[in-house]
Amino acid sequence: MNFATIGTSRITASFIEAAKETKGFTLTAVYSRSVQKAKDFAKIHGAENAYTDLEQLAKSNEVECVYIASPNSLHFEQAILFLKHKKHVICEKPIFSNTKELSDAYKVAEENNVYLFEAVRNIHSPNFQRLKEGLPDIGKVRSMMLHRSKYSSRYDQYLQGETPNIFSADFSGGALVDLGVYPLYIAVTLFGKPQGISYHPVMLESGVDGNGTLVLTYEDFTSTIICSKISNSFNSCEIHGEEGTLRFDNAGTITDLRLIKIASKEKVSLETVDWDLDMIFEVENFMRIIETNDDQEYNRLKDLSLSVLSITEAARKQNCILYKNEK
pLDDT at residue 188, as a whole number: 98
pLDDT at residue 266, as a whole number: 94
Predicted model pTM = 0.96
Give bridge partners of residue 49 from the DSSP assignment: 29
Pair type for strands 141-149 and 237-241? antiparallel
Spatial strand order of the sheet with 2-6 comes to 49-51, 26-31, 2-6, 65-68, 88-92, 116-119
Averaged pLDDT, groups of 10, the chain, 327 residues long: 96 95 94 95 95 97 97 97 98 97 98 98 96 98 97 96 97 98 98 98 98 98 98 97 97 96 95 90 97 97 98 97 88
Query: What single letter denotes the amino acid at residue 291?
Result: E
Q: Is 80 helix (H, G, I), strand (E, B) or coil?
A: helix
Taking alpha carbons only, the member of 319, 60, 136, 63 closest to residue 214 is 319
pLDDT at residue 70, as a whole number: 97
Q: How far is CA 289 from CA 74, 184, 298, 300, 301, in A?
A: 25, 23, 7, 11, 11
Contact 198, 147 (CB under 8 A): no
pLDDT at residue 284, as a whole number: 96
pLDDT at residue 271, as a whole number: 85
Helix axes 10-19 and 35-45, enclosed angle (nearest 10): 30
Question: Distance between CA atoms of 33 and 56, rounded to whole angstroms?
Answer: 13
Question: Distance between CA atoms of 80 and 176, rounded to whole angstroms?
Answer: 24
